């Protein structure tokens, strides 16, 4: 219960009420001390007036008057004449003098706290104004022990009353918070739990009914989120079914197109000029269709294994990529170069990193085309990561491609492209805990960066 919201609110309420009572206690105990001293002055004045009425009071009656007033001596000043009215032996000399006529609130609080914590007995002189203007001043001497005991008794009673008030206040607030906040919050939690068990069921979406405006706003926000999530899950289910159908169609279509490729080989052997002119276009179209089917099937499997991280030579990997690309460059005027320290070894999966670099270099080569240009791979490192940049001098990426560059089937750059290459490459680099970024693109060319962390992969995900 103490770990619940209402339980903690109960404890905090008791603490805060007690703190408020402590703040009230300090001036209250100071006021009690002042009233106590004033009452002793008033009693002493009454005793002195008895003496003024009859000068022939015997010693026993005088002692009784002083004992009832709880003072040792009484001095009453009337008409500028200071007169010792009543007196009795004092157990010790006077330690302090307090003039209540000039005492301000801070002085009264200070003197009260000192008296409360001082356990040693003292004799003090108290000066004040007589009641009913029966003189210029009245002065008494008294012992502090009874004063301190009265202050402690008063303090204990105040604290007991404060504790009772705080408990009652906290209990009322406890039930109020439980009714107004905890119960509606628990209802929201129950709705969330019910919805999580079957998010496709629209009947489990919460219906806002809270009376508290803030909770109602939370319920409305939750309702909106659940509605959108339910719709997204339904769409996801439809897309999954559609994806399965597309995969089956792509599989069958790939087999059909593969057979068609065999016939195109025979067509290319034809001597007919028209056939010879049209055959390369037909071959290219069929080849692109086969590649699309194969890429779609590969992406739809989503079975990319986790990277097997090892220390590999980046220079050797880039040399292998360039060796493969030189076969495709043929007679085009494209220069391949790299700037990589021979001793640089990166932590990566060699096959996956090869595919990423190969994809970037191949895209650069296709962007340059027959116009000629350069492709450069530059590698640097810091204390935290390796940076591999692939730059080309091609015409740059079109605006449409930049918007969805790493999105499958949307980020295609060249005509007939699927946009799967960069999407898969970005996914592979994310599996290494790194990032694939577009540095720049324009008429001067395009640059991509591969960032591979040197620390644990999980810390960069």
Dump pLDDT digits (tens) for 138-178.
Answer: 788 888 888 889 888 988 888 888 778 877 877 787 787 77
Confidence at residue 457, expressed as pLDDT on a 0 to 100 scale = 40
pLDDT surpasses 50 at 458 = no
What stretch of H or E contains 347?
strand 345-348
Confidence of residue 355 (pLDDT cuts 50, 70, 90): confident
Residue 460 has a pLDDT of 38
Q: What is the DSSP string of 118-168?
A: --S--EEEEEEPPGGG-SSEEEEEEEHHHHHHHHHHHHHHHHHHHHHHHHH
pLDDT at 177: 76
Average pLDDT of span 128-145:
76
Angle between helices 213-268 and 273-301 (to 10 degrees): 150
Residue 300 pLDDT exceeds 70: no
Mean per-residue pLDDT, 86-101: 79
User: What pLDDT sits at residue 225?
Assistant: 87
| 3-state class (DSSP) for residue 447 | strand
Residue 285 pLDDT > 70: no
Side by side, the strands of the sheet bearing 435-442 are 334-339, 373-381, 385-392, 445-453, 435-442
Whether residue 298 is predicted with pLDDT greater than 70 in this model: the reply is no
- Cβ–Cβ under 8 Å, residues 450 and 387: yes
Q: What is the pLDDT of residue 115?
A: 84
Q: What is the pLDDT of residue 1?
A: 54
What pLDDT band is residue 18 in, cutting at 50, 70 and 90? confident
More confident call, 254 vs 72: 72
Average pLDDT score over residue span 199-210: 78
pLDDT of residue 461: 34
Q: Are strands 445-453 and 81-87 parallel, antiparallel or unpaired?
A: unpaired
The confidence score (pLDDT) of residue 357 equals 94
Percentage of the chain exceeding pLDDT 90: 15
* Structural domain boundaries in the chain: 5-169, 213-301, 310-460
Identify the residue with better confidence: 417 or 334: 334
- Write down the pLDDT at residue 310: 92
What is the Cα–Cα distance from 276 to 278, expressed in whole angstroms? 6
pLDDT tops 50 at residue 323: yes
Location of structure tokens 């002493």: 44
Topology classification of domain 310-460: Heat Shock Protein 90 (3.30.565)
Q: Is the pLDDT of residue 34 over 60?
A: yes
Q: What is the pTM (predicted TM-score) of this model?
A: 0.44
When pLDDT is averaged across residues 264-283 and rounded to a whole number, the result is: 69
Residues shown for the chain: 461
Amino acid 416: pLDDT: 46
Helix-, strand-, coil-residue percentages of the chain, each rounded to 5: 60, 15, 25
pLDDT tens track for 375-416: 999 999 999 999 999 999 988 888 777 777 877 655 455 544
Residues 158, 29: Cα–Cα separation, whole Å: 9
- The pLDDT value given to residue 58: 59
Question: Is the model more confident about 312 or about 36?
Answer: 312
Identify the pLDDT of residue 291: 63
Work out the pLDDT band at 459, boundaries 50, 70, 90.
very low
**In angstroms, what CA-CA distances link 323 with 243, 316, 329, 345, 346?**
36, 11, 10, 20, 20
Lowest mean pLDDT among 89-103, 133-147, 280-294, 389-403: 280-294
Question: What's the CA gap between 303 and 154, in Å, rounded?
Answer: 80
Mean per-residue pLDDT, 66-93: 69
Across the chain, mean pLDDT equals: 78
Buried (b) or exposed (e) across 377-407, using 16+ Cβ within 10 A?
bebeeeeebbebbbbbbbbbbeeebeeebbe
For the segment 240-261, the average pLDDT, to the nearest whole number, is 65
Give 158: exposed, middle or buried? Use CB within 10 Å, 0-12, 13-18, 19+: middle
């Amino acid at each position: 219960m103490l770990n619940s919201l209402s339980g903690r609110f109960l404890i905090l309420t008791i603490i805060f009420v007690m703190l408020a009572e402590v703040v009230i206690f300090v001036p209250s105990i100071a006021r009690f001390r002042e009233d106590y001293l004033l009452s002793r002055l008033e009693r002493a004045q009454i005793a002195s007036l008895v003496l003024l009425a009859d000068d022939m009071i015997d010693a026993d009656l005088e002692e009784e008057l002083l004992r009832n007033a709880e003072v040792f001596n009484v001095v009453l000043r009337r008409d500028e004449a200071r007169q010792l009215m009543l007196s009795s032996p004092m157990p010790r000399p006077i330690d302090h003098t307090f003039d209540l006529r000039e005492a301000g609130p801070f002085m009264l609080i200070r003197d009260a706290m000192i008296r409360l914590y001082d356990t040693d007995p003292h004799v003090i002189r108290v000066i004040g104004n007589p009641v009913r203007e029966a003189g210029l001043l009245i002065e008494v001497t008294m012992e502090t022990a009874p004063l301190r005991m009265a202050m402690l008794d008063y303090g204990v009673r105040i604290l007991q009353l404060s504790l009772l008030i705080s408990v009652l206040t906290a209990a009322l607030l406890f039930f109020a918070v439980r009714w107004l906040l905890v119960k509606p919050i628990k209802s929201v939690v129950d709705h969330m739990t019910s919805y999580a068990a079957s998010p496709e069921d629209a009947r489990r979406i919460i219906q806002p009914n809270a009376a508290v405006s803030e909770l109602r706003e939370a319920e409305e926000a939750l309702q909106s989120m659940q509605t959108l999530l339910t719709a997204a899950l339904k769409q996801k289910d439809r897309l999954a079914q559609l994806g399965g159908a597309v995969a089956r169609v792509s599989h069958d279509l790939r087999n059909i197109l593969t057979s068609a490729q065999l016939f195109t080989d025979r067509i290319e052997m034809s001597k007919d000029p028209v056939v010879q002119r049209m055959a390369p276009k037909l071959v290219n179209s069929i080849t692109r269709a086969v590649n699309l089917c194969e890429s779609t099937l590969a992406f739809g499997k989503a079975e990319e294994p986790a990277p097997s991280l090892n220390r590999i030579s980046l220079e050797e990997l880039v040399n292998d990529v360039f060796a493969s690309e030189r076969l495709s460059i043929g007679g085009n005027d494209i220069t391949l170069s790299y700037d990589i320290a021979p001793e640089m070894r990166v932590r990566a999966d060699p096959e996956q990193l090869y595919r990423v670099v190969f994809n970037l270099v191949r895209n650069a080569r296709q962007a340059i085309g027959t116009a000629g240009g350069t492709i450069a791979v530059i590698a640097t490192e810091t204390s935290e990561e390796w940076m591999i940049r692939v730059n080309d001098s091609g015409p740059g990426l079109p605006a449409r491609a930049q918007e969805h560059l790493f999105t499958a089937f949307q980020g295609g750059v060249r005509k007939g492209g699927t946009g799967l290459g960069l999407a898969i490459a970005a996914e592979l680099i994310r599996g290494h805990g790194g990032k694939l970024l577009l540095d720049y693109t324009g008429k001067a060319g395009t640059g991509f960066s591969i960032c591979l962390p040197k620390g644990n992969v999980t810390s960069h995900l």
